[in-house]
Structure 1
Amino acid sequence: MTTVMNSAAASAECQPRAGQMFVMKCGGSTLAELPDSFYSDLAVLQANGVLPVIVHGGGPAISENLEKLGIETKFVNGLRFTTEEVLDVAEMVLAGSINKTIVRRIAQAGGSALGLSGVDGGLLKAKPVAASAEVGLVGDVTEVNVALIVGVLTLGYIPVIAPVGIGAGGQRYNINADTAAGAVASELGASRMIVVTDVPGIMKTVQGEKKVLETITVQQIEDMILTGEIYGGMIPKVRAAVSCISGKVKEVVIVNGSEPGVLGKVLSGERIGTRIVRMS
């Protein structure tokens, strides 16, 4: 009997807790390519009382639409140079097509979601970044309307947030999705962020075989970039994840969104993906 009870207790501990909140960051292109099962898992978590908050990007789609409209786009130190003209397109794509696609796919899977821009209800208040002279209308988050997010969750919806901010005098700002996600997670008091990508985590060659690192520190990431162990397209992925670590966010988990039940596995503490931890 004791064995049965212990097994039951262990099983319960390996389940996401009702009321457990998490913030998930995902690029718009990655979200669009995720299998239906990912959204079904998200809907199941919601039905079981877990409280997801989604912050998404959409860089490739913005670039594609700018090209179609004949508007020049360029990047300065990884940030898109943003004029009012570029911002019009960015807002259209982020708060429009991408945001509503995510909401629709969650609904098709049986969940309930509400799409929001950072402009709505002053959700993401912003100020110009320090390098605004070089990058234009790019913003840093100064305040998150936590009450609005909590209100949406209380009504039974998953908030799906597009990273466009609002500043003094009603000025809009293009906000990096990783920066926005980190600010949202920190203000909500979430200690963990989940970054959904198309890779299983950070890889390292061990005795001639590539393995996923279970845990890594920010400093170790920088060291691996310097030695060339992290290279190519993985560099922006890990640096984006690192940029989410701020305030109360002490770890970021990089996972492959196509892994069956990946969100539930992370929330229940299963060893999956790579955990980037802040040394404090």
Structure 2
Amino acid sequence: MKYVVKLGGAALENPTLLHACGQAIADLVKDGNQVAVVHGGGVQLTKTLAQMGKKSEFISGLRVTDAETRDAALMVLAGRVNKSLVAALGTHGQSAMGLSGGDGHVFRARKKKTTPDLGFVGEIAATDPRWLDAIWAMGAVPVISSIALGFDGEYYNINADEMASACAVATRADALVFLTDVPGVKGADGKVMRWLTLAQIPEMEKAAVVSGGMLPKLNACRDALTHGVKRVRILPAESASVLPDLLSSRVNDGTEVMVA
């Protein structure tokens, strides 16, 4: 089976959670699965920008990215965060290869057209998963930071959820799992929804039941499911240990997003 696991939020900051996520991913590979990890690092980037004296601004869950912020994102995401994940997998005996979406032209970006303008924020325009296939052929895990190279030669900051969805579609993954710092998608009653259909999402957005960073995440879920990915689940990072059993047994943690 083929998995794409998106890792972000507290799991990248908390050594215990990072250790547990690394163990779960290593176990998936030991069970004979191919796994790609896509990661964000927004918390770390915000901290770095603050140290630089720059204030972070978000619109609809997306970071406003000027040239200086983009350069910092390249340094933090493709550098420290990426290599910490490679190291975390290595502690469990699992080899991993860290790369950005721009390496090998695995992901090509174009500027995201928005009002107001978000700067160097991009969206995936093309994919070429041959490098990922080569890494898998060596028994390793590709660890991909959410930065992609535009056709104009500029690097663009890509929402990590969108990058994970594009990765799952490009590799024809069986499952896309978002390991997050929230228990799942909460309904109007504040309770975690165990199942969420695509048809329910527009009304939840309209009623502001979901907002902020959950908006691009649910859009990424929609894109994956409508382009052939079979299973999509938003799972709290604390429950990463259930990953190896996700497709073979009943899992009650998180939210399963379904076509219908």
> What is the TM-score with the length of structure 1 in the denominator?
0.81
TM-superposed CA distance for 1:202, in Å, is 3.1
1:24 corresponds to 2:5: yes
Gaps of 5+ in 1: 1-19
Structure 1 stretches of 4+ moved >4 Å: 203-206, 224-228
Report the Cα offset of residue 251 of structure 1: 4.2
Change (3 A) 1:49 1:222: same
Paired residue secondary structure (1:165): strand
1:271 and 2:251 correspond: yes
Aligned to 1:241: 217
User: Which shows bigger deviation, 59-68 or 24-33?
Assistant: 24-33
For the Cα contact (< 8 Å) 1:202–1:213, is it kept in 2?
A: yes
Q: C-alpha deviations, 1:60-84, integer Å up to 9, x for none? A: 2111111101234322332222122
Distance 1:224 1:125, change over 3 A: closer
Q: 1:101: which partner in 2? A: 84
| Aligned match for 1:195, one of 178, 182, 193 | 178
1:180 CA displacement: 0.8
Q: Which has the higher contact order (CA 8 A, sep 6+)?
A: 2
Unaligned runs of 5+ in 2: none
Deviation at 1:205, TM superposition (A): 8.3
- SS across alignment from 1:73: coil
Counterpart mapping for 1:219-238 below 5 A: 219-224=199-204, 230=209, 235-236=211-212, 238=214
1:56 is matched with: 39
Query: Is 1:85 the equivalent of 2:68?
Result: yes
**What is the distance in 2 between the residues matched to 1:178 and 1:48?**
25
**1:98-177 maps to which residues of 2 (within 5 A)?**
98-131=81-114, 134-177=117-160
Q: Does 1:185 align with 2:178?
A: no
8 Å CA contact 1:35, 1:258 repeated in 2: no
Q: Which of 49, 52, 56 is residue 69 of structure 1 equivalent to? A: 52
Scaled by the length of structure 2, what TM-score is found? 0.87
Q: Which residue in the other structure is 2:23 paired with?
A: 40
Look at both structures and tell me which one has the larger radius of gyration over its CA atoms.
1
In 1, are the aligned partners of 2:11 and 2:21 still within 8 Å (CA)? no
Rounded Cα–Cα distance in structure 2 between residues aligned with 1:35 and 1:168: 34
Distance 1:132 1:154, change over 3 A: farther
Question: Contact 1:29–1:58 at 8 Å: present in 2 too?
Answer: no
Provide, for residues 108-167 of structure 1, a one-character-per-residue CA deviation record: whole Å limited to 9, x for no partner.
122111111111111210111122861111111011221111111111111110011111
Give the partner amino acid of 2:242: V
Q: Tell me which of 218, 226, 238 is aligned to 1:258.
A: 238
Q: Does 1:213 align with 2:193?
A: yes
- Distance 1:203-1:172 versus aligned 2 partners, 3 A rule: closer
Q: Pairwise CA RMSD of aligned residues?
A: 2.4
Deviates more, 1:158-167 or 1:242-251: 242-251
**Paired residue type of 1:258:** E
CA distance in 1, matches of 2:26, 2:3: 14
